[in-house]
Amino acid sequence: MKKLFLLIALSVFCPFFSQQFKAYQFYNKKGKPIKSEKMIKQLANYQVVLFGELHNNAIVHWLQLKLTQALYKKNNKQITLGGEMFERDNQYQLDQYLAGRFPSSALGDSVRLWPNYTTDYKPLLDFAKNHQLKFIATNIPRKYASQVAKKGLDYLENLSVEEKAYMVKLPIKITMDTPGYQEMKTLFEKHDAHFNVTNFIAAQAIKDASMAESIFKNLKPGYLFIHYNGNYHTQAYGGIFWYIKQMYPNLKVAVISVFESENPKLPIPKTDYIPTDFNLIIPTDMAKTY
Encode pLDDT of 40-83 as tens digits: 999 999 999 999 999 999 999 999 999 999 999 999 999 999 99
- Residue 267 is given by DSSP the state P
Encode pLDDT of 154-201 as tens digits: 999 999 999 999 999 999 999 998 999 988 888 887 776 667 999 999
CA angle centred on 63, ends 92 and 133, rounded to 5° = 30
Residue with the bigger pLDDT between 109 and 251: it is 251
Residues 78 and 220: their CA atoms lie apart, in Å, by 9
pLDDT band at residue 4 under the 50/70/90 scheme:
very low
Answer whether 221's CB lies under 8 Å from 16's CB.
no
Looking at residue 73, its pLDDT comes to: 98
Answer whether 138's CB lies under 8 Å from 84's CB.
yes
Amino acid at 87: E
The 3-state DSSP class for residue 246 equals helix
Answer whether 148's CB lies under 8 Å from 206's CB.
yes
